[in-house]
Amino acid sequence: MPKRATNILLALSILLLTGLLWSRALLSIGIGLIAIYALYYWNISEKPSFKQPLFIWSCSPLILLFTGIYQDGFTPINNQLLLTFAVYPIAGLTAITANKFNFTKTISQPWIHAALIALVYPLGWFIFYSSKAIEQYGIGKSLPVFMDNDHVRFSMFLCSAMLFTLLPVTNARYKKTSFIILLIAILFLAVRTAWVLVFIILLGFGIHQILHNPSFKKYTSIKLIIATICIIGLIGIFPTAQQKINYSIYDWQEYNRKGYDSTYSDGVRRAMNLASWKAIQEDHATAIGWDAIPATIKKKFSQQFNGNTTQYGWPFNQWLFWWMGSGWIGLLLFSIWLFYPAWYGFKNNNPFLIIWTFAIAASCLVETTLNYQYGVFLHVWPLLICWQAYRKN
């Protein structure tokens, strides 16, 4: 039975990754099937304790959501958030019941392979349309990618795969080669959120190695200097990176010079977050419920920016969203929940939990990462893979 259960888990993980890259419908079907898998093997095997920190943490988001649901009830927006966050308990139960079936290795291995395969599309597009690609970077756009062309979440997917190449998983092939390929690709694609995540991954892993690996200390300084020089050199060489940096500087200067302009991506982010902040501070728009956030922000946005309208209904910051929807108590509870895996990782000497928690938190500063299907998927599955990496079967 263990071998069959492992093979089924592998097939389901491939299905999930296929859905992640190519089809939201297939991704939803995969989540449903893996929920059935988790319940089946939980029922026929020794049932795990519901007191496990992993299980409690993974079920908590559904409860926390009600701090912003009770105001309006089960509206379409609230129902969508509940459906999105339902992935957390499903993933948690799967991680617990499948740990005896090599959960970490079985899912992390195809995850790395899927990331490498997915790179063929954007890199191939650049090879055939390099001039157009460089021009697009100059106006704030990026290369086309899978995942409905969501380049931010796609880059986070690549970063999670890069992190998996560092996991202490036995019999993992080509880990160093995969790490180098993914690192270069992330730098080349020039998504700034991914650059921050790469920095957190390298810094976190480096600190852990210095503190816990005596053989690493001897050449640490030299390795870090060489690695830093190489990364800076690669950024300087890649035209995509140069264009993205130039655009970022231009976008920031233009916003400071003439204010909001809907054609500049960073300016839109700053404007949306400012409108949200003003709504909280001036109109006391807190604990208004998730359903009321879009209308509140759009109204304040129009007041703040001379009658301009916006298509966005949420701020580009996860904490502003929770503050508006659930008040400061909900914001505090959400923050405790979000950073709990880092504390657990610190207590149990698991650096990967700490690294991915802070990586996701960094993305939440400039995105409402956890409001979307892709974002939740890329938060919970890598986190639980890292969580179980140090647990014995």
Q: What is the mean pLDDT of each run of 10 residues along the chain (393 residues)?
A: 88 97 95 95 71 93 97 96 97 93 93 97 94 89 94 97 90 81 95 95 89 69 71 84 90 85 85 96 96 96 91 95 97 98 96 98 97 97 94 57
The radius of gyration of the chain from alpha carbons, rounded to an integer in Å, stands at: 22
- Burial (0-12, 13-18, 19+ Cβ within 10 Å), 152: buried
Distance CA 339, CA 360 (A): 10
With H, G, I as helix, E, B as strand and everything else as coil, classify residue 78: helix
Q: What is the pLDDT, as a whole number, of residue 215?
A: 67
Q: What is the pLDDT, as a whole number, of residue 237?
A: 86
Q: Which of 259, 286, 282 is nearest to 270 (CA)?
A: 259
Cα separations in angstroms, 55 against 78, 273, 330: 23, 33, 20
Instruction: State whether the Cα torsion 97-164-162-116 is positive or negative.
Output: negative
110 touches 14 (CB < 8 A): yes
Distance CA 327, CA 94 (A): 32
Q: What is the pLDDT, as a whole number, of residue 393?
A: 43
Only one residue has tokens 């899927």, namely 114
Cα separations in angstroms, 179 against 202, 227, 329: 11, 13, 41
Cα separations in angstroms, 12 against 19, 117, 158, 358: 10, 18, 20, 28
- Going from N- to C-terminal start, the domains of the chain cover 1-47, 53-97+259-393, 100-238
237 touches 244 (CB < 8 A): no
Q: What is the pLDDT, as a whole number, of residue 138?
A: 87
Q: Which of 222, 308, 302 is nearest to 263 (CA)?
A: 308
Q: What is the pLDDT, as a whole number, of residue 44?
A: 76
Helical H runs in 74-150?
A: 76-85, 87-97, 103-118, 120-128, 130-138
Angle at 88 between CA 87 and CA 93, to 5 degrees: 100
With H, G, I as helix, E, B as strand and everything else as coil, classify residue 365: coil
Output DSSP code: residue 368: -
